[in-house]
Structure 1
Amino acid sequence: MENEKNKSIRRIVEILNINVPNLIKYNGEIAKQLFLHDSFNLDNKVDISVERKFLGEVLKYIPNEYRTLLHDTSHSTSDYTAVDFSKITHANIYDGDTLIMTIIVYDVKDEEWMFRWNHNIRLPEKNIYFHSIKWDVDYIKPEIVLMYELLDPIDYHQLPNYRNVIDSLSYYQFVILRLVVGDERINQALISEKKAI
């Protein structure tokens, strides 16, 4: 029997896929699984990415029974009037005390995605995601997912699978990742993954 957490995750995903499918891109572990296996597993917390200008539109479809906590670089709040939307980094969605979704905010300028910690690192926005024909969803490319996972303090609550993803990257994807995070951070991640297993 499906547990309550899974029901909540599936419910929110269904609502977002029906109402704002073109505004969300799956991220984190779900994006890696879509990339590696074309699987769309909703059994655990789901991460999605949303362009900043569409964050409010996406949030309005999160049912009121779930608690939304908006995070900027210095604090978090559930009060939408007490936060500067231009500084929000992510929003966490809770079912009771259980974190079920993280919405990661990204910025676009002149149709170019900008890496959060270095706005000089840019890619055409259309080049930051793939589309799964099987599931009819967009998902962030694995090299970008890894950029954030290897450098971002957000706790993704997932077991790492860096080796599988890195081994599946094209040469171009690996060069982009390496350029942004560096060899040392990639090696540290692979070592920590080996210890975790």
Structure 2
Amino acid sequence: MDNKKVKNIVKTLNEKVPNLFKFNGEVAKQLFLHDEFNLNDKVDISVERKFLGEVLKYIPKENRTVLHDTVQASSEYSELNFENISHVEIFDDEKLIMTIIVYDVEDEEWMFRWNHNIRLPEKNIYFHSIKWDVDYIKPEIVLMYELLDPIDYHQLPNYRSVIDSLSYYQFVILRLVVGDERINQALISEKKAI
């Protein structure tokens, strides 16, 4: 599937606000595993809350934008409390083409959405691909959200290959946040999906 609209959105974001977002989800995992930059499917990006409005300015008006907070979803910005927005979905007609995952930073520390006691220096939550000149969220953080988040990522799981590629330090961080049981459940469900 060729996803021309999402490629155009990414191109615009890379030209206008390249330092305000980082690739997440499957794109980040493929950058980490294979240094591949595949935009043919749905694309997930992460944006610090204070830059969300700036990034959303570059989403074409013909795309339907749905903001989600902890209790509701709406295309009307005024209906939601900006401080509670967790993610934004971008649609091309009825097809979900992009999810923007919002994160918070306090005193230059990234805070995990479900437990603000889990913090990392913001500059330590992403890698930079020299080949593609893009930033992407580190795989252990991508997995924290995928393993604990109710957002449906609409992609085949590849937990085993990502987990096997983590450094010991990355695995320990993932394990501390999500726990052995959730990691094992994910690996079992992935085996069943294949």
Aligned to 1:104: 101
Aligned partner of residue 159 in structure 1, secondary structure = coil
- In structure 1, distance between residues paired with 2:155 and 2:14: 23
Q: What does the per-residue CA deviation read over 1:17-49, in whole Å, with 9 as the maximum and x for residues that have no partner?
A: 111110000000000000000000011000000
Deviation for aligned residue 1:152: 0.2
Partners in 1 of 2:79 and 2:70 — Cα distance?
14
**DSSP-derived class of the 1:74 partner:** coil
Compute the RMSD of aligned alpha carbons: 0.7
State how 1:95-174 maps to structure 2 within 5 Å.
95-174=92-171
- Aligned match of 2:177: 180
Once residues 135 and 19 of structure 1 are traced to their aligned partners in structure 2, the CA distance between those partners, rounded to angstroms, is: 16
Q: Which of 19, 29, 41 matches 1:22?
A: 19
TM-score, normalised relative to structure 1: 0.97
Distance in structure 1 (CA, Å) of the matches to 2:152 and 2:77: 23
Aligned: 1:64 with 2:61: yes
Q: What is aligned with 2:88? A: 91
| Unpaired runs of at least 5, structure 1 | none
1:104-142 alpha-carbon deviations (Å, 9 max, x no partner): 000000000000000000000000000000110000000
Where in structure 2 are there 5+ consecutive unaligned residues? none
Q: CA shift at 1:72, angstroms?
A: 0.2
| Deviation by residue 1:41-91 (Cα, 9 ceiling, x = unmatched) | 011000000000000000011010101000001001111122111000000
Q: Which stretch shifts more, 102-111 or 74-83?
A: 74-83
Counterpart of 1:29 in 2: which secondary structure? helix
Correspondent of 1:81 among 66, 78, 81: 78
Letter in 1 for 2:104: D
Instruction: Look up the equivalent residue of 1:157 and give its one-letter code.
Output: H
| SS of equivalent to 1:62 | coil
Name the CA distance, whole Å, in 1 between partners of 2:145 and 2:79: 26
Q: Secondary structure at the match of 2:47?
A: strand
Q: Amino acid of the residue matched to residue 102 of structure 1?
A: T
Looking at structure 2, the residues matched to 148 and 142 of structure 1 have their Cα atoms a distance apart, in angstroms, of 10
Q: What letter matches 1:98 in structure 2? A: K
In structure 2, distance between residues paired with 1:81 and 1:188: 39
Q: Hey, what's the Cα distance between the residues in 2 that align with 1:55 and 1:24?
A: 9
- In the alignment, residue 96 of structure 1 is paired with which amino acid? D
Partners of 1:126 and 1:156 in 2: how far apart? Answer: 25
Aligned mates of 1:96, 1:148 — CA distance in 2: 27
Number of residues of Structure 1 aligned to a counterpart in Structure 2: 194
